[in-house]
Structure 1
Amino acid sequence: MEPIVLYKVCKSFDEKTVLQELSMNIPQGETTALMASSGQGKTTLLRILMGLEQVDSGYISGMEGLQKSAVFQEDRLCENLNPIANIRLTNPSLSYIQILEAMHEMKLFDCEHQAAAELSGGMRRRVAILRALLAEWDILFLDEPFKGLDAETKRQVMAVTCRLCRERTVLLVTHDLSEAKAMAASGLISW
């Protein structure tokens, strides 16, 4: 597979430059960690790659025809829907049992009938991660996906996530090198 290539990508918002001539090659079929200081454009870069923002200049190749899935910094769940319905939004072909088994892997027990608004922050986070993982995707964008999880839950969730992402293209934005290692990131790009 050809890499995803970014060449001299620039992006500004209201006269503030967020990305300045950023160039990189992102291998497909692997997990790549993206690290930079706060405010240096990591989320903006993901939004550009997802097609939610346009570059001001430069170009990107290798994204053509790829199905995308994402875990944003916010959970973005439908508050009135239960976890099963939230997960099915991205993949309606999943059976109730398939989703329930995946929820149990993520240590989500006895909450399948609760509205998302009633779930704890950590439970909401795990539902958001599962929703992205169980979608049909060629490339997965993870924008600080494990924030807000306690250490043990985070370890379990990273193990499940890593297993479900094996040999697939994943871009992980993190400030924590241990997360990149736990996710078996084969590459680290920082700026």
Structure 2
Amino acid sequence: MTEGTGPSDATQRRLLIVEDDTVFARTLARSFERRGYAVQVLAGPDQLDAVAAAFRPGFAVVDLRLAGASGLSCIETLHRVDADMRIVVLTGFASIATAVEAIKLGATNYLTKPANTDDIEAAFAKVEGDAEVDLTAAPTSIKTLEWEHIHQTLADSEFNISEAARRLGMHRRTLARKLDKRHMG
């Protein structure tokens, strides 16, 4: 699919939202419905195959961190259902590692929370990379490196906090406090 073209007419304005925060999901759904989208919401990966196959969305918004699950598996499932589906990942736990994995698995774009409907629609529209994007010369901070290491360990342990804490060599409560401080949405 190239810039300026979208999913086929049959799926053009169908949006699937996979988000476990019911208030945020409901708000997002209503906002997209006002823009002419047909919207379905799932709280997690349960029934994702069946709903995606029956609903045939052209667009999807997937939360990276779902209660008891990773949104990465949802991206993989949705991409398998329709390789042209435009999938935007939303997360309050952004890291380079998960952004790379999300794109490899078929996501179109990756946004940090808070993101609004305008941000998400702009991400749906931007399917091509931009070779002219400014490169920053600023080195990565120690805090950012620490966060990326923590997040990669969390992803590797399937977001099991106890297992991630063990792998990081820290107490589970210490890791939970760090995650609470870093939570953005």
TM-score, L = length of structure 2:
0.30
Q: Which has the higher strand share?
A: 1
> Taking CA–CA contacts closer than 8 Å with sequence separation of 6 or more, which of the two structures ends up with the larger relative contact order?
1
